[in-house]
Chains A and B, each alone.
Chain A
Amino acid sequence: MARGEAYITGIGMSEVGVRLDRHPLLLTLDAVREALADAGLKPEQIDGVATYPGKMPSFLGFSPVSSDDVIEALGLSTRWHLGGAEMTAQLGAISAAAMAVKAGRARHVLCFRTVYEAAAMANPTDYPPPRRTELTGASQWTAPFFAISAATWVAQYATRHMARYGMTREQLSEIALNAHRNAARNPRALVKEPLSAEKYFFARMISSPFCLYDCDRFTDASTVVIVSAGEALDEVTAPPIRIAATAGSVERYSWDQAEWPGSYPTGKALWERCDYGPDDIDVAQFYDGFAFHPITWLEGLGVCGIGEGHRFIEGGTRIALDGELPLNTGGGQLGAGRLHGFGFAHESVVQLRGEGGARQVPGSPRVAVATSGGGPMAAALLLTRES
């Protein structure tokens, strides 16, 4: 294994549920325990922690646990840590951890994302919702028009794709149908059953063209990825997955001024940093907070041309588990739960190790791309198995 490289050496996940009673710090602990056991590491070997978006006191359900909380509560001794929202989307925390281990600042970095939005809604006393009085910052340009949810922001990019390139709801539906089909094969997924086209088209609209099944739902869970230095691989037992390249690009930090979502410049930047290209992707884990996002990643990463993503997924066969580019094999956020970005890194590792069980893609995949975001913020990881 190469010195100066970064690897994912452990993955863990808590119970994934809706309105879980378990304390969010304990959900985080559950995922940490599993990741440590997976990597064969002890807590005292963790010397770095990274998270996105850091604790948000004004919106605890969105992010109830800080990197500081984890260091303090679990008695870790760290030499490097980071938690914050001003970075290139959720997987930016893993990208930063990769830089830290490459730079020799840490040997094993515990990266986590804990979400508690469903539980918080059920317990507003302990987890008050964000206040919408006296808007400041970016939300003042959208919330006064009741464009409050990202659903309404992303929906407009989807509408534009329909008007410009002829995308249909039938084509868009393949993202949710594929997600549910795969989730039904993933025992840890929130969704347990496939979705029929009839049920999809009968569902109520949220924000056109997105119906209920095109939007992820609030989830309570924690996901952990351990990033280790190449120099420290002799300390781990799991097969290491190399972080071959990372990217995250912002051209306009705005949900409404950007001509193109961040997935387009980010996809382009990823290939400029490695010797791989879109044809090399064996398995794709593309952010699907909303069903249109994966279409932007297909186009942004050059799997197909701009304005062709909906035709690529038409019929669903190309993106199925046995298709030419299996997509969101664990169910994505639409099927497995809103793990908020980190689930895509987790599932990439599962697939590259061949541990996908009933949802394992055939052909022993070696190259995965995990992405997160796709509004103004976007991040991508190129992950490879080299043994």
Chain B
Amino acid sequence: MSLGVPRPRPRLDRDNRAFWTGGGEGKLMICRCGDCGQWLHPPQPVCRACWSENVAPQPVSGRGTIDSFTVNHQPWMPGLAVPFVIARVALEEAPAIYLTTNIVGCPVEDVAVGDAVHVAFEEEDGIFFPLFEKDT
């Protein structure tokens, strides 16, 4: 509830469960092809590069950089605390994979493209939302 209202929740299914619950063990889980090494996000049961079905979620470091961001000022739902930062984070191991997320733990004006960030999970009722904080 860091932004004043409960986060909209994904419905867990066999494709997305590892991503949304991996934070329970402190792990950011991203799908990867076991044959060609391609990272895949959103998770899917086949590699989009080589069509291998040997695909499974794998933990990544949780480190990344801010590819881009926006400071959101519009309360899209009643009670939503604004402003806050929505960002697209490129993951260190997989720079072509982007996670839409929130940058937390710093004033919105301190966020810039290219900033180094790391994952900080926020749990609500069993879903571990991967938010990101700036490295210090």
Contact = CB atoms under 8 A, between A and B. Distances in A.
A149 B76 contact: yes
Interface string A194-209: 0000000000111111
A387 interface: no
Contacts of A157: 68
Contacts of A135: 8-11
Interface stretch (A137-145, A265-273, A277-285): A137-145
Contact of A159 (B68, B83, B99): B68
Interface residues of A, number: 39
A140 B88 contact: no
Interface residues of B, number: 39
A-B residue pairs, 6 tightest by C-beta: A155-B70, A163-B113, A140-B10, A160-B68, A156-B68, A134-B11
B114 interface: yes
Contacts of A151: 74
A314 interface: no
A333 B103 CA distance: 31
A133 interface: yes
A147 B11 CA distance: 17
Q: Which of B84, B86, B99 has the most CB of A within 10 A?
A: B86
B98 to A, nearest CB: 5
Contacts of B127: 144
A125 interface: no
A151 B72 CA distance: 9
B70 A156 contact: yes
Contact of A205 (B71, B88, B97, B112): B71
Interface centre among A135, A136, A140, A155 (most CB of B within 10 A): A140
B46 interface: no
Nearest to B96: A259
